[in-house]
Amino acid sequence: MPRIIDLTAPGRRTTTGSTPAQAGVGLHPFNDESLASAGRRRGLTFTPEIAAATAHHYDRIRAVVPPVEWPAMAPFIHAIEALKRERDAVVLAHNYMTPDIFTCISDIRGDSLQLAREAARTPARTIVQAGVRFMAETSKMLNMDKTVLLPELHAGCSLAASISARDVGLIKDAYPGIPIVAYVNTCAEVKSLSDVCCTSSNAVQVCEWAAKEWGTDTVILLPDEFLARNVATMTKLNIISWHGRCEVHETFSTSDIAEIRKSYPGALILAHPECPQEVVSAADYAGSTSALASFVEERNPKQVVLLTECSMSDNIAIANPTVDFIRPCNLCRHMKAITLASIYDALVDMRHAITLCEDVARRGRAAIERMLDLPQHGARRDFAVGQPGASVRVI
Ligand code: 13P
Ligand code: SF4
């Protein structure tokens, strides 16, 4: 897992330009073919007509994508726009997508909760999930009559991989009468055995709702140990969790925060709740990916550090040109497996369509819909910072 936290290294701190890895171009970190060569192999070339037809897209991302990279992106973007019309397709892009995907070709953008809500509403016949497998499965469960494409089959998630349906079955037997809240970062089979889903936007609200519904003071929140610990600081409930971790967020530490505070006094430090509890506690603000974006938009701080996946800074920087982003870079190799080339191939060949067994989909959908049915105004957008850790039983 590539990780760059040396904020003082020459060239690390950029306010407008991005590194090739952040922009997702040049030699892609997890695909060894450059986008330019991928385009040539597919007969996609940068012509004056394509330059003119895509100029408005480049204007929106020029702050984070150097001009030298645009000729490789533009032919893909132009071709994907035509394919979307042909296939009656929408692209749902998670906040961790690179700016070429996030800003130029996506129709719907956001965090896991927003993408699930919009997946349930879209009238399009085809959904291209620019995100990871659990997101595509969520979209499919909500749209069994539609085609849901995941451009790269290997786009997984360390949290989803940490727990199986068999594990959940054993947990249910061991804790009868205790509701199981499944983080949306789980596979369809795990969701189908769970009582309700949650995301980082509504985890506290869902746990409290489940405890009330089941008439208990204990909730099993799976599979992210750190999310569970961060939820536990905000509720009186007893939380039982699992030993899953996000491979991107688990690597942030309080010494990273100390280093940032020393090098950049005054910079606001924002953390995702998949980070360890002591990291969230030492940050200035914590919330889902969209909560982090809204915080920057509302506060318009001078300098910001996001303790989350790299591409978030690029995407938020586009919307907030006056904010100076310091960029410790942790890439999610699963998210970065989705590229313009893989999206193009997915639409050309209608690959890789998600299929789910009817019964799994029906029960998983019930868990997702319970979450979507909760009142949105009751959800807290943020996590508590500056709190001591609360006890969580990790099984
Ligand atoms: P959000 O729901 O906050 O977008 O998080 C999804 C995710 O995978 C973070 O690592
Ligand atoms: Fe999974 Fe972490 Fe990647 Fe999100 S960032 S998809 S939680 S591995």
Pocket test for ligand 1, best of 96, 97, 115, 336 (most atoms within 8 A of CB): 96
**Strand (E) or helix (H) holding 250:** none
Q: Give the residue-averaged pLDDT of 368-378.
A: 92
**What residue owns the CA closest to ligand 2's atom 3?**
332
- CA-246 nearest atom, ligand 1: 10
Q: Give the residue-averaged pLDDT of 355-368.
A: 98
- CA-291 nearest atom, ligand 1: 3
- CA-96 nearest atom, ligand 2: 5
- Looking at every residue in the chain, the average pLDDT score rounds to 91
Q: Would you state the structure tokens that stand for residue 39, as one six-digit string?
A: 């385009």
Question: Amino acid identity of 268?
Answer: L
The rounded Cα 21 to chain-centroid distance in angstroms is: 17
Residue from 71, 69, 72 nearest 37 by CA = 72
The alpha carbon of 122 and the centre of ligand 1 are apart by a number of angstroms equal to 21
Beta strand 218-222 with 180-183: parallel, antiparallel or unpaired? parallel
Decide: helix, strand or coil at residue 202.
Answer: coil
For residue 217, give the DSSP letter: S
pLDDT tens readout for residues 161-187: 999 999 999 999 999 999 999 999 999
Q: Give the residue-averaged pLDDT of 339-365.
A: 98
pLDDT tens readout for residues 42-76: 999 999 999 999 999 999 999 999 999 999 999 99
Rg of the chain on CA atoms, in Å: 21
- CA-159 nearest atom, ligand 1: 8
Q: What was the pLDDT predicted at 328?
A: 79
- pLDDT confidence tier of residue 33, bands split at 50, 70 and 90: confident
The alpha carbon of 68 and the centre of ligand 1 are apart by a number of angstroms equal to 31
Please provide the size of the chain in residues.
395
Q: What was the pLDDT predicted at 380?
A: 78
More confident residue, 12 or 95: 95
Beta strand 3-4 with 329-330: parallel, antiparallel or unpaired? antiparallel
Q: What was the pLDDT predicted at 5?
A: 46
CA-CA distances (angstroms) from residue 357 to 145, 153, 363, 364? 13, 18, 10, 11
| 352 preceded by a cis bond (ω within 30 of 0) | yes
pLDDT tens readout for residues 225-251: 999 999 999 999 999 999 999 999 999
* 3-state DSSP of 135-189: HHHHHHHHCCCCEEECCCCCCCCCCHHHCCHHHHHHHHHHCCCCCEEEECCCCHH
**What residue owns the CA closest to ligand 2's atom 7?**
246
Half-sphere exposure of 38 (CA within 13 A, CB side): 21
Beta strand 89-94 with 382-383: parallel, antiparallel or unpaired? unpaired
Closest ligand to C-alpha of residue 290 is: 1
Q: What was the pLDDT predicted at 329?
A: 76
More confident residue, 220 or 33: 220
pLDDT tens readout for residues 291-341: 999 999 999 999 999 999 999 999 999 999 999 999 877 899 999 999 999
Q: What was the pLDDT predicted at 31?
A: 61
For residue 386, give the DSSP letter: S
- The pTM is what? 0.92
